[in-house]
């Protein structure tokens, strides 16, 4: 494992603190710089370990931002996870709280109403875009693209038309994927 | 269309206590394989009726514009609305605490299973489903555009340009918000009184 000193931890915390306010759209948007810091500069993790950290957080239940905790854990155990999570969340959380209160107080003003009304179609566009970007690798693969298309279509249909919990779809996905059809 | 599933503003329920808020957010986070947003929409809007579709999209919009994870910002905003600061922390804790313990436990175990083809296959399957859930959530929320002051055609135009700019051209989000977002806000402003 790495020999992480106290000042290393502080540096890790500070770096993630700085990235927090830049992370418009989520912590994942600042991954390139996290990679540069952790893998290229300090050699605390290999490429493979870095990528695996992100993948496991995405697979596990919960917000994908938890990849930050996994990175911290892999670098320096529990203290590392604490450093990266606290750094990632403190600034953006403080800003969000302040912003939402500021906005809520003024929510009847023309400016705030224009803000929310104007952004609405962008928000939905981003959501659909995210879905497409997530689906793309599966649909463009040489093998199993039809299996992937079928599974994704099924997920969309079931989620839109029925009341079944998405958990069932996840289970189906795991089984079908485990069988090698995706 | 299941119009009965769409709560009107005056039919909304709300969490009675911070504990209920914490448990609700923990529960929905733990169902979020591959991402929490689709589950959050299903649970908060359709099952619990704590938010209307419009309110959900509104909060999501602000969450996306602000730095930080969208779902975390959304939880924060909703919790704050319910119980102030303590509510914000209750929602945040729900969203992050148990899932973090679980993911760190999985990390400790993962090394042994990383190369297993069945495991990687299962994760691929899960990822494919996750993408479908996000797409479905986006499609479901499109109905909120009907009541937008800019009107449906303009909204669809903005939405389409957003998809092309981000999914196809891969324009960084900040530019999309500052550029297209500013234009859209200006258009909305001109349509409001």
**Phi/psi at A24 (nearest 5 deg)?**
-75, 120
A126 vs B173: CB contact, 8 Å cut-off?
Answer: yes
Which chain A residue lies closest to B136 (C-alpha atoms)? A156
Closest-CA residue of B relative to A17 is B68
Measured between CA atoms, how close is A41 to chain B, in angstroms?
A: 23
What tokens were used for A165?
């919990």
Q: Are B51 and B78 in contact (CB under 8 A)?
A: yes
pLDDT in tens, A60-116: 999 999 999 999 999 999 999 999 999 999 999 999 999 999 988 898 899 999 999
Place of tokens 């051209």: B169
SS3 of B98-154:
HHHHHHHHHHHHHHHHCCCHHHHHHHHHHHHHHHHHHHHHHHHHHHHHHHCCCCHHH
Mean pLDDT, to the nearest integer, of B98-116?
85
- Tokens 């800019």 label which residue? B150
Q: Where are the domains of chain A?
A: 6-105, 120-178
The pLDDT assigned to A67 comes to 96
Residue B113 confidence class, pLDDT cut points 50, 70, 90: low
- Quote the CA–CA distance of B72 and B92 in Å, as a whole number: 7
| Reported ipTM | 0.89
Domain map (residue ranges) of chain B: 3-121
pTM to 2 decimal places:
0.89
Q: Which of A23, A52, A122 sits opposite B158 (nearest CB)?
A: A122
Contacts of A153 in chain B (CB under 8 A): 132
* Backbone φ and ψ of B33, nearest 5°: -80, 120
- Put simply, the answer to whether A174 touches B126 (Cβ < 8 Å) is yes
φ, ψ (nearest 5 deg) of residue A61? -70, 145
> pLDDT tens digits, residue range A37-71?
999 999 999 988 898 899 889 889 999 999 999 99
What is the distance between the alpha carbons of residues A28 and B101, in angstroms, rounded to a whole number?
20
Chain A / chain B CB contacts < 8 angstroms: 359
> Residue B29: its chain A contacts at CB < 8 A?
61-63
| Residue-level pLDDT at A87 | 97
Answer yes or no: are the C-beta atoms of A23 and B68 closer than 8 Å.
yes
CA-CA-CA-CA torsion sign (B85, B86, B87, B88): positive
The confidence band for B135, taking pLDDT boundaries of 50, 70 and 90, is very high
Question: Shortest CA distance to B24 belongs to which of B53, B49, B55?
Answer: B49
């Amino acid at each position: 494992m790495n020999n992480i000193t106290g000042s290393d931890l502080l540096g890790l915390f500070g770096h993630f603190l700085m990235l927090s306010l830049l992370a418009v759209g989520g912590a994942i948007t600042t991954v390139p710089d996290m990679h540069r810091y952790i893998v290229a500069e300090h050699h605390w993790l290999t490429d493979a370990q870095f990528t695996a950290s992100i993948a496991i957080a995405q697979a596990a239940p919960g917000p994908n931002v938890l990849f930050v905790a996994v990175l911290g854990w892999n670098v320096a155990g529990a203290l590392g996870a604490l450093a990266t999570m606290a750094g990632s969340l403190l600034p953006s959380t403080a800003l969000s709280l302040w912003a939402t209160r500021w906005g809520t107080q003024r929510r009847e003003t023309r400016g705030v109403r224009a803000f929310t009304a104007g952004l609405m179609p962008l928000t939905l566009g981003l959501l659909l875009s995210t879905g497409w970007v997530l689906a793309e690798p599966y649909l463009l693969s040489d093998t199993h693209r039809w299996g992937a298309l079928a599974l994704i279509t099924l997920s969309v249909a079931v989620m839109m038309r029925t009341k079944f919990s998405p958990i069932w779809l996840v289970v189906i996905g795991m089984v079908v994927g485990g069988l090698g059809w995706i | 269309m299941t119009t009965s599933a769409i709560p009107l503003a005056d039919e909304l329920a709300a969490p009675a206590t911070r504990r209920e808020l914490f448990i609700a957010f923990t529960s929905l986070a733990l169902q979020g394989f591959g991402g929490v947003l689709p589950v959050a929409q299903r649970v908060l809007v359709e099952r619990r009726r704590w938010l209307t579709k419009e309110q959900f999209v509104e909060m999501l919009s602000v969450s996306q514009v602000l730095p930080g994870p969208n779902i975390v910002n959304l939880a924060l905003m909703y919790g704050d609305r319910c119980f102030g600061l303590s509510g914000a922390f209750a929602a945040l804790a729900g969203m992050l605490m148990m899932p973090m313990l679980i993911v760190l436990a999985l990390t400790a175990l993962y090394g042994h299973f990383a190369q297993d083809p069945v495991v990687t296959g299962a994760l691929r399957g899960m990822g494919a489903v996750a993408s479908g859930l996000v797409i479905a959530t986006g499609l479901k929320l499109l109905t909120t555009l009907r009541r937008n002051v800019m009107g449906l055609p303009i909204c669809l135009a903005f939405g389409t340009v957003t998809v092309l700019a981000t999914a196809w051209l891969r324009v960084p989000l900040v530019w999309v918000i500052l550029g297209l977002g500013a234009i859209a806000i200006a258009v909305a402003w001109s349509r409001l009184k």
